[in-house]
Amino acid sequence: MRVTNGWYVDEGRVVWGLAQHNGIWGGYRERDGWFADCPIRPNIAARDPGRTGPGHTEDLDRLTDAMVEHGVPGFEHCFGLWFDRRRDTHDTERRADPDAVPPFLEQPWPRSGGGAAWDGLPRYDLDRFNPYYFRRLKEFADLCDRKGLVLFHDFYLQHALVEVEAHYVDFPWRPANCLQPTGMPDRVPAANAFYDVEHPVRGELHRRYIRKCLDVLGDNRNVVHLLAEEYTGPLSFVQFWLDEIRRWEEENGRCLHVGLGATKDVTDAVLDDPARAGSISTIDLRYWSYDASGSLDAPRGGRQIPARFMDGMRPTPSQLYRQVAEYRTRYPDRALVIERHLPSRQHVWAFLMGGGSMLIDKIHFPSDGSPKSLPPADYAAPVGSDIARIPFRLVAEHLAAPLARARPLPLGDGQEHWCLADPGRFYLVYLLRGGPLTVRLPPGVPAARCRWLDPRTGEVLEGGTPVTDPAGRVEVRAPDGQDWALWLVPHPVPSGP
């Protein structure tokens, strides 16, 4: 997989669609049932002794098959919020015994065999790495390579560092939980301390961990390396991470697919930095947004702001298109991703038409309908994945090849009609509210074949060959006043006598 013309492209075809995020807590627990307010998402590093399947020890081969089957070509992974599911109650009490409850969310670092952490199990040894965790991560990445899927690998998870005490008490780097003198605070907020690589112990621990991740995943083709889930930290830590990746690439003769995910000020600073901008293949837009009025909501980095502020971001389709198209125009050779729960198909189409490559959402397993709402027996279509299924199928079955050469093309005022085009060869236009539309073709193109794509059903309707006037204008009208996509393919210029 490569980034070509701002798209993820595999063998000449665009890989586009929805990516699911892994579960960082919550799940069925044998002792006292299911946390109904936390829908289960798969976690590839989970371990549930004796039980394999959704919400337990994930069957990675079946999970990736289901991603292909259900039109979810991406997966974002980070390590879990805590290991022991007793902490799902969100209490902060120190455990008096080591009787942990599965499924266990294995961490990148192993237990030491000595001392007692806050969860009652042995403390973590941050100088070593958990073979189970990295074996599962590598197995999943290999399956993604083989099946044409994309793994977004987050090195870190910020969620534990800035929110509530219950999220932090079992964090492996908290002094109560590890052998090493990390110098981390005992309470939140702890993000800025964690990102301070000038500390002699923490800086070296970060370097060793970053390199371990690269050693494990450096040979995989379809891995996009991201710094952290929910990262709102400082520019300095992003620079540190990028510099460590660059040194690893130079030492190993590799060129990795690196994504940049941070607040807008930090993102723009890296992309304006000639020493580091060239390392970036993907830009993650999830940490800022335009609201319905067009005002920019963009907290600054390094202020220990929980990424929960994103939950309030509800741009209109037009404002989402604006955000994506701005960066697609400014950085046409980078792929764009975003994590956002989008409430309508119009939002999904706005993301596609702006030139966005992968939409990450916290879709989850359906329950089995029982009183305890257990996970399903097999990998059914995730709840929420239907919102992007129709455009995914349209791209996969009809548009994957021509889309690879297309870019956003200004069309009208940008509020109602959006266009992706390879001018003179291919046009995809989305009409937010139907109605008439005029598209101007390059000089010398005599006519164009018109097809309408129904965003509600996925049906493709033939629209004939509309009349092209001498100025190259093609005038069409949507079948009704709802949203429609127009697929316009100009006829080739006749050659010969």
What is the number of other CB atoms lying within 10 angstroms of the CB of residue 345? 18
What is the number of other CB atoms lying within 10 angstroms of the CB of residue 315? 20
- Cis omega (within 30 of 0) for bond into 54: no
One DSSP character per residue, 218-272 reads TT-SSEEEEEEET----HHHHHHHHHHHHHHHHHHT----EEEES-HHHHHHHHT
- Report if residue 285 sits inside a domain: yes
Q: Would you say residue 496 has pLDDT above 50?
A: no
Are 224 and 152 members of one domain? yes
pTM over 0.75: yes
Token readout for 44 is 């590839």
- Report if residue 252 sits inside a domain: yes
Are 359 and 422 members of one domain? no
Range with the lowest mean pLDDT among 38-42, 98-102, 377-381?
38-42
pLDDT per residue as tens digits for the range 56-81 = 999 999 999 999 999 999 999 999 99
One DSSP character per residue, 271-295 reads HT-TTTGGGEEEEE-TT-EE-TTS-
Per-residue pLDDT band at 32 (split at 50, 70, 90): low
Are 323 and 262 members of one domain? yes
- Report if residue 390 sits inside a domain: no
More confident residue, 343 or 235: 235
Q: Would you say residue 389 has pLDDT above 50?
A: yes
More confident residue, 313 or 142: 142
Calculate the average pLDDT of the chain.
91
- Report if residue 495 sits inside a domain: no
Q: Which of 100, 209, 202 is nearest to 154 (CA)?
A: 209
pLDDT per residue as tens digits for the range 157-197 = 999 999 899 999 999 999 999 999 999 999 999 999 999 99
Whether 86 and 101 have beta carbons less than 8 Å apart is answered as yes
Q: Would you say residue 203 has pLDDT above 60?
A: yes
Phi and psi (nearest 5°) for 195?
-85, 0
Residue 313 neighbours by CB under 8 Å, 6+ apart: 289, 291, 297, 340
Q: CATH number, domain at 481?
A: 2.60.40.1180
Are 100 and 239 members of one domain? yes
pLDDT per residue as tens digits for the range 449-488 = 899 999 999 999 998 877 778 777 888 899 999 999 999 9
Are 471 and 350 members of one domain? no
How do beta strands 280-284 and 258-261 pair? parallel
- Report if residue 222 sits inside a domain: yes
The structural domain count of the chain equals 2
Per-residue pLDDT band at 107 (split at 50, 70, 90): very high
- Report if residue 496 sits inside a domain: no
- Cis omega (within 30 of 0) for bond into 189: yes
pLDDT per residue as tens digits for the range 433-444 = 988 888 888 777
Average pLDDT rounded to a whole number, residues 362-381: 79
* Angle, CA of 150, 155 and 157, to the nearest 5°: 110
Return the half-sphere exposure (C-beta side, CA atoms, 13 A cut-off) of residue 39.
15
Q: Which domain holds residue 207?
A: 2-383
Range with the lowest mean pLDDT among 34-43, 44-53, 221-230, 269-278?
34-43
N- to C-terminal Cα distance for the chain? Answer: 43
User: What's the confidence (pLDDT) of residue 63?
Assistant: 98
Are 473 and 371 members of one domain? no
Q: CATH number, domain at 267?
A: 3.20.20
Alpha-carbon distance of 78 to 107, in angstroms, equals 10
Whether 47 and 104 have beta carbons less than 8 Å apart is answered as yes
Range with the lowest mean pLDDT among 25-29, 196-200, 263-267, 428-432?
25-29
Whether 250 and 242 have beta carbons less than 8 Å apart is answered as no
Are 178 and 78 members of one domain? yes
- Report if residue 171 sits inside a domain: yes
Domain boundary among 339, 368, 383: 383
Structure-token match 């006292």, residue found: 32
pLDDT per residue as tens digits for the range 319-340 = 999 999 999 999 999 999 998 8
Are 177 and 233 members of one domain? yes
Structure-token match 């052998």, residue found: 179
Whether 455 and 407 have beta carbons less than 8 Å apart is answered as no
Give long-range contacts, CB 8 A cutoff, 24+ apart: 42-45: 42/365, 43/80, 43/103, 43/105, 44/75, 44/77, 44/136, 44/137, 44/140, 45/77, 45/79, 45/80, 45/105, 45/106, 45/132, 45/133, 45/136, 45/137
- Report if residue 392 sits inside a domain: no
